Amino acid sequence: MDLTLHSEFGTLKSVITHRPGPEIERLTPYNTSELLFEDVPYLEVMQKEHDQFTTLIRETTGATVYRLHDLLVEILIKGSILSDIFKKNLSPHGLEKYVPDITFRYSTSECASMLIAGIKVKELMKKFTCPELEKMDGAMYLIQPCPNQYFMRDPASVVQNGVICSQMKYPSRQRESNLIKLIFENHKLFKDSFRQIYPTDAMNDNIPSIEGGDVIVLSNKALAIGSSERTDSDAIKKVAAAVLKDEKVERVYEVDLPPKRNFMHLDTVFTIIDENLAVTYPDAMNSVLRTTVYRKGKEDSDGNMTLDEEVIDESITTVLKKEMPYLEVIETGAGNPDFSSKEQWYDGANVFAIGPRRVISYNRNKFTNRALREAGVEVVETSSSELSRGLGGPRCMTMPLERQVF
């Protein structure tokens, strides 16, 4: 498998998703903020909605849909990988010496689930006990849960010449990215084609944050990255230097986003659904008045490539029209301010392109969906009463690996 993507809208060939599981049951009204949620979803309905979503992907595209949990099990079968990752997660509690005894008592599938759903002291003590555990609070997490894991877009981004492995803004989400990197490095489907372009090997400490929701492939020659509350400008510059170096990409756009909850990532502001068509949230598009474009510069005295920077003090819509000739824009809520703000809260602009002018969208965003259909877009609606409570849309729930190349 060639882990590169050259568009956001080529017919989907393969994708990774994560079916919400026990990690969602860890949410309570008292820890939602700590775990970066706004609400407590109903897991059983959430799973039915996610099953519908992945079934629609398969039925409409014929794409291969990989489940994160399955991929994780397939690499953890190799005992050394399982042992290493559990030692890393349990060493802060002084339990690394017990890892062989702990993992022996659980199946590989259970171990994979623990890395996503977490485990408490009292839960581990049902199968294993030791003096260190007996001194701990039974309700304490030895491995923290990852309820945001079903937002598969954030942990990594496949782009034109490799993979950006996310450095998550909040430490509580970093394991999401670490698990994906572990899979790419070790799974037989990916390890031979995995090329990590960020972070580089030289970056060990204080790595600037970047999240996949801020990364959008504009074309085979251009990449846009949002400078947001989750992605640092320094990270964008380092990614730009890496992707521009081999000349597959000619332009990297840094798009300044206002620090607002409903502008959290660039893909909540706009998504590309054809070579000349985008879905946008008008309030955000009008608020973005500064974009920096990076191009390949000259080498400095040490042989390192420099970046040529050009600041464009114009709306992002204007910038996109320069990059995408004859661009058409469809606004969330069909441009009605009341409908637009409501449907943006449920990620109206965050549709998932499964092919040119073919998208999967939440059924609750009816005015946006109507506007898309009036523009000739095929809209496949998926249920969203519970999935949307995490404040992420269909695009957020997917990590595309392969698309048809135009």
Mean pLDDT value across residues 271-285: 88
Letter for the amino acid at 317? T
Listed in order, strand segments (DSSP E) in 83-187 are 119-120, 141-143, 156-159, 162-165
Percentage above 90 pLDDT, the chain: 74
Instruction: Tell me what pLDDT residue 318 has.
Output: 85
What are the pLDDT digits (tens) for 122-135?
999 999 999 999 99
Positions of E strands within 248-372 = 251-256, 270-274, 277-280, 291-299, 305-312, 328-331, 352-355, 358-362
Instruction: Please give the average per-residue pLDDT across 18-26, as a whole number.
Output: 97
Tokens of 278: 């985008």
Say what the pTM is. 0.95
The CA-to-CA distance between both ends of the chain, in Å, stands at: 17
- Over residues 272-293, the mean pLDDT reads 85
Residue 390 pLDDT > 90: no
- Say if residue 255's pLDDT is above 70: yes
80 burial via Cβ count (<10 Å: 0-12, 13-18, 19+): exposed
pLDDT at 2 over 70: yes
If you average pLDDT over residues 43-47, what whole number do you get? Answer: 97
Band of pLDDT at residue 32, cut at 50, 70 and 90: confident
Task: Indicate whether 333 pLDDT > 90.
Answer: no
Q: Which of 35-44, 145-154, 346-355 has the lowest mean pLDDT?
A: 35-44
**pLDDT at res. 48:** 98
pLDDT at 314: 82
Confidence band of 262 (pLDDT split at 50, 70, 90)? low
pLDDT band for 261, please (50, 70, 90 cuts): low
* For the chain, percent of residues with pLDDT exceeding 70: 97
Quick check: 244 pLDDT over 90?
A: yes
pLDDT at residue 252 tops 90: yes
**Confidence (pLDDT) at 260:** 65
Q: Which residues pair with 10 in a beta bridge?
A: none
Strands (E) located in 321-370: 328-331, 352-355, 358-362
Mind listing the pLDDT tens digit for each residue in 303-317?
Answer: 677 899 999 888 888
Rounded mean pLDDT, 365-382: 96
Q: Which of 111, 146, 165, 396 is catalytic?
A: 396
Q: Edge-to-edge strands of the sheet including 196-198?
A: 156-159, 162-165, 196-198
More confident residue, 155 or 37: 155
| 130 assigned to active site | no
Q: Where does the pLDDT of residue 38 fall: very low under 50, low under 70, confident under 90, or very high at 90 and above?
A: confident
**Whether residue 201 has pLDDT greater than 80:** no
* Vertex 196 angle, CA 91 and 272, to 5°: 115
pLDDT computed for residue 374 by the predictor:
95
C-alpha dihedral (196, 198, 202, 204), degrees to nearest 10 = -110
13-19: average pLDDT:
98
Q: Residues 106-119: what's their mean pLDDT?
A: 97
More confident residue, 290 or 168: 168
Q: Which of 52-56, 183-187, 326-330 has the lowest mean pLDDT?
A: 326-330
All structural domains of the chain: 12-67+147-403 (3.75.10.10), 71-143 (no CATH)
- Rounded to an integer, the average pLDDT of 74-103 is 95
Instruction: Give the pLDDT mean for 233-261.
Output: 89
Alpha-carbon Rg for the chain, nearest whole angstrom, is 21
- Per-residue confidence band for 257, with pLDDT thresholds at 50, 70 and 90: confident
* Mean predicted lDDT score pLDDT of the chain: 92
